[in-house]
Amino acid sequence: MSSQDVDYEVREHTAWLTLNRPEILNALSKSMFQNLEAAFRAASKDPSVYFVGIRGAGRAFSAGLDVREVSGFSSRAEAREFVYGLVKPFWKRFFACEKPVIAIVEGPAYGAGAELALASDIVVASNRSTFAFSGGRVGALCCISAGFGPETITGRKVVEMNLTGTAVSAEEARTFGLVNYVEDPAEVQGRVSKILDEMRYVSPVSNASFKRIRRSTFTSRVLDIAHRELLRTITSPEFRKGAGSFKQKTRPEYYD
C-alpha cells in the first residue's frame, strides 16, 4: 500500500513506514497525513505485523509541516478541513496503534516531524540528528507536544523548546527523554534490530495493554483542544506573516 510520498513495506513482522519526500526534507503535506493514517491503519489491522518503524528518506527525518502548501488556504473552511479531515484523524490513528512504534531519526526532526518522534514509543537517533518544536516560528503550533510532551520529556524542556523554537542535538534530546539511543549513523540500524529482537520476547497483548494505559493519560479532550488551537494558529495573521517569511528565508517580526 505504498504511495508516492509514504513507502510501506512489511519485513520480518515489522511495518516500515518511510516518509518519502527527500527533496523537501520530508515536509508533511496534506496527502502525507492521509497516507500515514492509511499506513498505520493497515499496520494495526495486519496480524502478521508485530511492530512499526517510521523513518525518513534522504538526509532528514522530517522538517515538519509543508508550509508552502498549508499556508495557501483560500478560506477558514479549507483550513478546518485540513485540521479535522487530515491531521486529527492521523493522530487519532497513531495513538490508537497498540503495536510498538520505533522512530529512526537521521537528520532534522522539526515541527510535526519532531512530534512524530516524540509520540513514538522508542526513538533511535543518529548523532547527526537535531530536534525542534519549531511550529511557532512560522506562526503555527506543535499542538501534540503541548499535550503529550510533559508525559514523556523530563523537566521543563518541552516548554522551552516550544516557546523558543530552538533546535537541540540528539545527545541533548536524549538527556531529557525525547530520545532513547544516540548512535553513529552506521550503528543506528544495528541498535534498532537489537530492540526489535528484544521485543519479540515480550507478549504482544502485554505491550498492547501497556500502550492502552500509557495513552489514557493523553485524553480525547486534550486532543480536541490541541487541534482547535492548531486551527486557531494557522488561520491567524501571524501564520500568514510567518509563512511569508519562511518562503522568503527571512526571520518574521511578530512584535512590531
For residue 194, tell me if it sits in a domain. no
Domain count, the chain: 1
C-alpha cell at 195: 530492540
Query: Does 1 have pLDDT greater than 70?
Result: no
Three-point CA angle 145, 236, 119, nearest 5°: 15
3 has pLDDT over 90: no
The one-letter code for the residue type at 47 is P
The whole-angstrom separation of Cα 4 and Cα 12 is 23
What does the pLDDT read at residue 256?
74
What's the alpha-carbon Rg for the chain, to the nearest Å? Answer: 17
Examine residue 240 and state whether it is found in any structural domain, yes or no.
no
Q: Is residue 221 part of a domain?
A: no
**Residue 80 resides in a domain:** yes
Residue 218 lies in a domain: no
Residue 218 has pLDDT above 90, yes or no: no
Q: What is the pLDDT of residue 151?
A: 85
Assess whether pLDDT exceeds 90 at residue 125. Answer: yes
Residue 88 to residue 90: CA distance in whole angstroms = 5
State the average pLDDT for the chain.
95
180 belongs to a structural domain: yes
Domain extent at residue 67: 6-186
Angle between helical axes of 88-96 and 30-45 (0-180°, round to 10):
20
Calculate mean pLDDT across residues 188-199.
98
Q: In this structure, what CATH number is given to the domain that contains residue 182? A: 3.90.226.10
49 domain residue, yes or no: yes
The pLDDT of residue 231:
97
Question: Is the confidence at residue 254, as pLDDT, over 80?
Answer: yes
Cα angle 99, 37, 183 (rounded to 5 degrees) comes to 55
The pLDDT of residue 36: 98
Report the pLDDT value the prediction gives residue 219, as an integer from 0 to 100: 82
The answer to the question of residue 215 being in a domain is no
